[in-house]
Amino acid sequence: MLNGKNIAVTWDFTEMSEYAAAHAVKLAKHLNCNVLLLHIVKRESERADAEQRLQEAAEKINQNYDIMPLTQVVVGDIFRSIGQFTSDSKNDINMVVMGTHGMRGMQKITGSWALKVIASSTVPFIVVQDMPSEKKLTDIVFPVDFRAENKEKLVWAINLAQYFTLKIHIFKELVEDQLHLKKINSNLLFADKFLSKYGIEYEIHTAKSKGNFETQLVDFAIDINADLILVMTTKNIGFTDYVFGASEQSIIANNAKVPILCVNPRKDLAGSSSW
């Protein structure tokens, strides 16, 4: 359940952080959650100054949105410390909102730093590139492929549907390989079972062509004015995925700036067919 927990915002005193905070506030008011600004410093000597600046940022957010965020400064680096803090159950974080410029310059070679941060945590991330729209959360795009991890995304679709009147737009790959098709159909049957059980409205759409699934997915989200795309990160993601590009990198950094909810595969749900 989401109610009453903390939504963390990765805060680095940039415009992207302000975008993330605006999204977090919008969600928190519907979910009855707290907003927590999380800032990482490299050295202990930087903590005091960062705490003061972070508190000032929190007060500004309170003035603008009438919600007072919690604040937390952690000594470490963004690629490990964010994941450690948000994954620690005592901090009661149920999701993280992070702003990003997408993939630019050297990041096109070395991989998306956003994905590295996301993969370090056990809680989902919402990655944003712009301020939120004024409309309520109503339409989520839910890509389905042949991977078993697709089933874990349903937990979050169902959780969000308890607080928003959602329509889930299932978007599936166009494939001819019979083994992949069988797995995709299995995932669709699983989705139908649980979305129907919880009374969640949904439609199934198929990509128009083989290949470029990620591009077609984003184009579809634009066409229906989707509020969110819900994706799984690559299981056991490693260095080669960062360098050569896991499939979700282009979705996270989409040029249309559609917010992306990234769910990391959970080891405790591996092989589970229900929850």
At 162, the amino acid letter reads Q
- What is this structure's pTM? 0.88
Q: Where in the chain is the domain with CATH 3.40.50.620?
A: 6-99, 139-269
DSSP 8-state assignment for residue 113: H
Q: Do 210 and 180 contact (CB within 8 A), yes or no?
A: no
Helix (H) or strand (E) holding 50: helix 47-65
pLDDT value at residue 38: 98
* Region for residue 214 given its phi and psi (left: phi exceeds 0; alpha: psi -120 to 50; beta: otherwise): alpha
d(CA 247, CA 214): 7
d(CA 243, CA 237): 11
pLDDT digits 0-9 by tens, 31-86: 999 999 999 999 999 999 999 999 999 999 999 999 999 999 999 999 899 999 99
- Which CATH architecture best describes the domain 139-269? 3-Layer(aba) Sandwich (3.40)
Query: Which residue is associated with the tokens 């390989």?
Result: 177
Q: Do 71 and 105 contact (CB within 8 A), yes or no?
A: no
Strands of 118-176 (E only): list them. 125-128, 139-144, 167-172
The yes-or-no verdict on residue 199 having pLDDT over 60 is: yes
pLDDT value at residue 102: 59
Quick one: which of 128, 140, 120 has its CA closest to 225?
Answer: 140
Four-point Cα dihedral 166, 170, 171, 172, nearest 10? 170
Helix (H) or strand (E) holding 187: helix 178-197
For residue 271, give Cα distances in angstroms to 84, 145, 268: 25, 16, 9
Q: Is pLDDT larger for residue 237 or for residue 165? A: 165
pLDDT digits 0-9 by tens, 228-237: 999 988 655 5
Q: Do 85 and 74 contact (CB within 8 A), yes or no?
A: yes
**How many beta carbons lie within 10 A of that of residue 181, not counting itself?**
15
The yes-or-no verdict on residue 1 having pLDDT over 80 is: no
**How many beta carbons lie within 10 A of that of residue 77, not counting itself?**
11
Fold of 6-99: Rossmann fold (3.40.50)
Say which residues have a Cβ less than 8 Å from residue 29's Cβ, sequence separation at least 6.
67
**How many beta carbons lie within 10 A of that of residue 132, not counting itself?**
18
